[in-house]
Amino acid sequence: MVNCGNLLKSALVAVMLVAVAQYGSAAEKLATCCKTVTNKELHEPILGYLVQRANPPCVQAVIFQTESGLYCSQLNAPWVRRKIVEFRKQKAQATTPSSSSSRLLSIITSTVSPPSSSSFPSSSSPSSSFPSSSSPFPSTFQTPAEESASEKNE
């Protein structure tokens, strides 16, 4: 009887997980689905984009992410390709300074002398203020999730 009870509980948990997974994917599709598009040009800075394929009720579109929200644009509108090219150029330029800033940071940190023992308690060491990762600062050039999804679709 004990084994039957455990088996029943396991089956119930499995059914719940499947139901939650199905609901989650349906909610995600509804949240990112364009049912209509515009050919009106955006004048806001673009933070990311996603190309959506037609899959009823969703239509073929480019979803642009801006600070004010998401915009569903017509894929073949004349300005869309230009905006995507501009966005990619800005993204490429934004990733270049990160390597030079890392080099600059390593130069700065290697030339700084450690503080005297009177400045900090003896339990502290100068290196303890930095994380052990390769760069002491998080990257400021990370892209939003929608952008990484757009790269998968290219």
Q: Based on the structure, what is the number of domains in the chain?
A: 1
Kindly state whether residue 27 falls inside one of the protein's structural domains.
no
105 occurs within a structural domain: no
Is residue 56 one of the residues assigned to a domain? Answer: yes
Q: Is the residue at 130 inside a domain?
A: no
Cβ pair 36, 12 in contact under 8 A: no
Residue 45 placed within a domain: yes
Q: What is the mean pLDDT of the chain?
A: 64
13 assigned to some structural domain: no
Residue 52 domain boundaries:
33-96+147-154
Give yes or no for residue 83 having a pLDDT over 70.
yes
pLDDT at position 85 is 95
Q: Does any domain span residue 68?
A: yes
3-state secondary structure 39-102: CCCCCCCCCEEEEECCECCECCEEEEEECCEEEEECCCCHHHHHHHHHHHHHHHHHHHHHHHHH
pTM of the model: 0.45
Whether 138 is in a domain gets the answer no
What's the pLDDT score for residue 98? 52
